[in-house]
Amino acid sequence: MNASPTPKIATAAANLRAVAGSLESIADAVRTDAAAATEVVRQLEDTAGETALLATALATAAAQIEHAVAAQAALLRDVARNTGDSLAMVEALAQAGQGIDSMSATIGAIAGRGRMLALNARIEAARAGAVGRGFDVVAHEMGALAQSTLAATRDIEDRTGTIERGVTATRTAFEGVNSAVENERRLIGDIVAAIEEQKGIAAEVARLTDTTRAEISSSAEAIGRVSTSAAAVGVLARQVKRTAAALEAAASD
């Protein structure tokens, strides 16, 4: 009774062993792929962590630059204010110099008239003879005073000219400072715009990093499930092998 079914049992056992071998091969391949995927996920996690640190450093650097730029802008405002105040003083000094120039011209004109009067007085004193000697002394003193006044007037004019040249040079220097301050302000505006863009990039990198981490976590969970399935396939393969062995033992009885 046992002779006829034995070949069928042996064939079934062989098929089961083949199935078990295939299952083990599949389980090994899945475990290998899962291990490789796990390594990739680990590397991705490391990369995501480094990217997060980079985004944080980028945001910190942007904040520090923004603070420094704000301090520089405040300094430039102070420079511009002080320059404006100094320029106003220079303008006042220029007006004062013009006033001195005007007074010097007036004094020079008076001195010139004094010389003319002194000359006329000496002429009249010479005509008067002995009677006009007193007038001649007075006329001489008036001429000397007029001459001294003219010399002082020229000295004032020279000094006024020096002051005016200094005022002009100072005004030019202040205008150059104002131009430099304006250029610096424009540059700071460009830097602030770049900082805002940098901060936006840092925020976007941080957001993408969080998304990547979430996706990596999901991938790790999926890989864990695959590994568990591979282990279950391995267990099933061993069970199939045991069944095949039992069939072969039954076939040999």
Answer whether 82's CB lies under 8 Å from 247's CB: no
pTM for the predicted model, two decimal places: 0.48
The mean pLDDT of 243-248, rounded to a whole number, is 76
Structural domains of the chain, ranges and CATH numbers in brackets: 6-252 (1.10.287.950)
The mean pLDDT of 152-174, rounded to a whole number, is 77
The mean pLDDT of 141-147, rounded to a whole number, is 74
The residue type at 7: P
The residue type at 147: Q
pLDDT at 229 (0 to 100): 76
pLDDT tier, 55 (very low <50, low <70, confident <90, very high otherwise): confident
pLDDT for 19 beyond 50: yes
The three-state secondary structure class of 4 is coil
pLDDT at 134 (0 to 100): 67
pLDDT tier, 172 (very low <50, low <70, confident <90, very high otherwise): confident
pLDDT tier, 206 (very low <50, low <70, confident <90, very high otherwise): confident
pLDDT tier, 2 (very low <50, low <70, confident <90, very high otherwise): very low
Burial class (CB in 10 A: 0-12, 13-18, 19+), 4: exposed
pLDDT tier, 51 (very low <50, low <70, confident <90, very high otherwise): confident
